[in-house]
Chain A
Amino acid sequence: MAQHAVELILTRQLASCLSVPIVLFGPTGDVLFYNEPAEALLGMRFQETGPLTLVESDRRVRLTDERGAEIPRAARPSAIALGQQRPAHSQMWMTAADGTRRAVEVTAFPLLAEAGGLLGAAVMFWERDGR
């Protein structure tokens, strides 16, 4: 077992203290952590799932447009934050692991170390009003 970079540890600690739903991604897109407010929207508990690979998280939570078409991975804020190392924002529909479908708004930003290395991305999301 390797220890995570301190920037990731601090982001997780911050996420644990906030009421904003936050998912923490590693540099290759694996889910490293999600906080309690995110658990409510994702329909799963971190204590039960632990970290999730990219494939595993895709299998549990589906991201679609309003007509139900899958949003390509490259167009998702998390992938833009990781791939292009810039912040990204968009609206979409999320089908949680428990089957609940919600309109959500998603903001992602890359976690770049002082020396510039990509450590991961933090993604916050909200349920949209007027659903």
Chain B
Amino acid sequence: MKVTFYGTRGSLATPGRATERYGGNTSCVLVRGEDGSALVLDAGTGIRAAGADLPRDLRRVDILLTHLHMDHIQGLGFFGPLYNPRVEVHLWGPASATAALDARLSRYLSPPLFPVLLRDLPCRLHLHHVPCGEIKIGPFTIVAQSVCHPGPTVGYRLADGRAVLTYIPDHEPALGARHFPEDPEWTSGWELARDADLLVHDAQYTREEYPSHLGWGHSSLHDALAFGALARVRRLVFFHHDPARDDHAVSAAAEAAVVDARPAFSAMPAAEGESFDLPAGP
């Protein structure tokens, strides 16, 4: 599979020259299978460009939403395939205890916030609730599981028989833990990330910033590294960069955390426009 980052920023889009290396668009990752299947992880502002890069003759695309915070759905209405009647779009995301996915999404995709209603989109739209057991799409077997973040939120594990990608962009597994990480059995997201070839994980804060943001639903770079080590991943990509951090600060924070934690795997910040081929070549 090929994994490409179209949006790596957390919370708020942060365009400008100071963020051009790691990117200013909010969460969106495109995953292409060997058979051409297209999966889009989250619909942050990065999804507009992801849609524009898809081949015109594509007949099906699946959008996997982790949750419905604004930075993960803001780009949805600007995803080109939604306006193509020949495309089947499958939208996967969590319901809440009292509202279905379409009702929850319609709060944003309706006037006055957005001019087009979900039901008026020209594509053939199918909505699915997650978590729902194993999902099969092309060569992919996908598992969604609830993770620790305010409101209904899932992470995804995508396996194509050759490699595993785990995507948990908004995640605070250290919340309430006395010594993080402890037992894998009692660690949010562990099963999703276990032995992954590539883990894309929340790393919004530095270790110094985290205590004043406890319970906000995000991780420090150090906790992301500790979580990756517990799950024995092969590679970790720091994701959901804080909007207050420019390129220089993103590099510096990542470098400092890696020097300090010395992980047994490689770890680097996600950069918009960068791709990973999985499994990694020799």
Contacts and interface: CB of A to CB of B under 8 A. Distances in A.
Interface of A: 1-7, 9-10, 12-14, 16-17, 113-115
14 contacts: A1-B184, A1-B185, A2-B185, A3-B185, A4-B185, A10-B148, A10-B175, A13-B175, A16-B178, A17-B176, A114-B94, A114-B96, A115-B129, A115-B131
A14 B146 CA distance: 17
B277 to A, nearest CB: 29
The interface centre, meaning the residue of A1, A12, A113, A114 with most chain B CB atoms within 10 A of its CB, is A114
A29 B263 CA distance: 39
Contact of B186 (A4, A113, A114): A4
Contact of B188 (A9, A17, A113): A9
Contact of A7 (B94, B146, B191): B146
Chain B interface size, under 10 / 10 to 19 / 20 to 34 / 35 or more: 20 to 34
Contacts of B96: 114
A3 B176 contact: no
A12 B186 contact: yes
B221 interface: no
B177 interface: yes
B187 to A, nearest CB: 7
B147 interface: yes
Contacts of A114: 94-97, 146, 152
B201 to A, nearest CB: 15
Given A10-B176, A17-B176, A114-B96, A5 B184 contact: no
Q: Which 5 A-B pairs have the closest CB atoms?
A: A13-B176, A3-B191, A6-B146, A114-B97, A3-B190
A115 B187 CA distance: 21
A16 B95 contact: no
Interface in B241-270: none
A5 B146 contact: yes
A14 B148 contact: no
Interface string B22-44: 00000000000000000000000
A9 B97 contact: no
Interface string B81-107: 000000000000011110000000000
Given A6-B147, A14-B176, A16-B178, A115 B184 contact: no
Nearest to B177: A13
Contacts of B185: 1-4
Interface string B184-204: 111110110000000000000
Contacts of A7: 146
Contacts of A2: 185, 191
Interface in B154-180: 175-178
A9 B184 contact: no
A108 B116 CA distance: 47
B229 to A, nearest CB: 16
Contacts of A113: 146
A6 B177 CA distance: 13
